[in-house]
């Protein structure tokens, strides 16, 4: 569905991505793992055209997309839920969700998407009149995912949804991702929490300083000795 071929990206003189190849398949969770600074977030930023790639090609449903504007990417159905949530703190929960549906015009569709988000995260329904900035960390992450879902994504890209959350909440968020996959959403998941991510991922890539060093099915990587030593703490 989404393919990256030989993608290179530079921040000034620093080569952040040194020619990576990836393939995100439809109806699957594809995880992208690695340490800080490996280039995980950069990969997502390249796909959503927040940063321009220098070489290579990004295609989505067989169309080249790396020369588009960020807003056009959203129209294509690629929705990026950024690192650190980036909510609109002085908009209410409901307004944040509406903001997520910015590209949509059909009011009925927006309403049903919102109902869907409220079913996934009932707490957001209770808080819908509250300013997003007043939510707890877990609620903010739920809102960030909910907001991304409001754009009716064909592919949902999540950047570290577990960051700074209590283990119990992380579990809840990851359960939601599994539910979303069952409903047919394609997910491209960037994570530092390799253990949790590999347990739900169909396929995974591991990045080290801008290069894919390992890839394979989630289960296989969980058993891989190298991965165990480096990323699973044992």
Q: For other proteins, which is the closer residue by CB, 99 or 220? A: 99
From residue 18 to residue 57, the character string flagging contacts with other proteins as x (rule: CB under 8 A) and all else as - is ------------------------------x-x-------
Mapped onto helix, strand or coil, the DSSP state of residue 50 is coil
> Nearest distance from residue 12's CB to other proteins, in Å?
12
CA dihedral defined by 149, 46, 52, 148, rounded to 10 degrees? Answer: 10
Q: How far apart are CA 180 and CA 46, in angstroms?
A: 24
Distance CA 95, CA 16 (A): 35
Bridge pairing between strands 29-34 and 55-60: unpaired
User: In whole angstroms, what is the distance from residue 18 CA to residue 15 CA?
Assistant: 6
Q: Out of 82, 138, 153, 161, which residue is the one contacting other proteins (CB under 8 A)?
A: 82
Least distance (Å) between residue 80 CB and other proteins: 5
Q: Which is nearer to other proteins, 88 or 118 (CB)?
A: 88
Smallest gap from residue 14 Cβ to other proteins (A): 17
Please count the residues of this chain forming the interface with other proteins, following the rule CB under 8 A.
26
Residue 6 Ramachandran class (φ > 0 left, ψ -120 to 50 alpha, else beta): left
Those residues whose C-beta lies under 8 Å from the C-beta of residue 197, and which sit 6 or more positions away, are 31, 33, 174, 189, 191, 204, 218
Site track 113-142 with other proteins (rule: CB under 8 A), x = hit: --------------------x---------
Q: Identify the residue among 2, 24, 68, 74 touching other proteins (CB under 8 A).
A: 74
- Pick between residue 132 and residue 194 the one whose CB is nearest to other proteins: 132
Question: Which residues contact other proteins (rule: CB under 8 A)?
Answer: 48, 50, 69-71, 74-75, 79-82, 86-91, 95, 98-100, 102-103, 133, 147, 151
């Amino acid at each position: 569905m989404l393919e990256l071929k030989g993608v290179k990206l530079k921040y000034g003189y620093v080569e952040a991505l040194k020619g990576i190849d990836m393939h995100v398949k439809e109806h699957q969770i594809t995880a992208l793992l690695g340490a800080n600074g490996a280039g995980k977030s950069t990969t997502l930023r390249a796909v959503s055209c927040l940063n321009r790639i220098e070489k290579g090609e990004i295609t989505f449903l067989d169309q080249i997309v790396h020369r588009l504007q960020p807003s056009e990417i959203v129209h294509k159905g690629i929705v990026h839920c950024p690192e650190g949530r980036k909510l609109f703190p002085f908009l209410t929960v409901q307004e944040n969700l509406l903001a997520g549906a910015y590209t949509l015009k059909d009011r009925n569709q927006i309403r049903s998407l919102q109902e869907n988000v409220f079913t996934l995260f009932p707490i957001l329904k209770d808080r819908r009149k509250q300013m997003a900035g007043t939510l707890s960390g877990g609620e903010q992450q739920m809102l960030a995912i909910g907001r991304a879902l409001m754009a009716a994504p064909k592919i949902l890209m999540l950047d570290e949804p577990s960051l700074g959350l209590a283990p119990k909440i992380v579990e809840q968020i990851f359960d939601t991702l599994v539910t979303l996959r069952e409903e047919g959403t394609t997910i491209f998941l960037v994570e530092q929490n390799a253990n949790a991510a590999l347990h739900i991922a169909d396929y995974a890539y591991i990045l080290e300083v801008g290069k894919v060093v390992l890839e394979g099915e989630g289960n296989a990587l969980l058993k891989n000795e190298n991965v165990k030593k480096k990323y699973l703490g044992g």
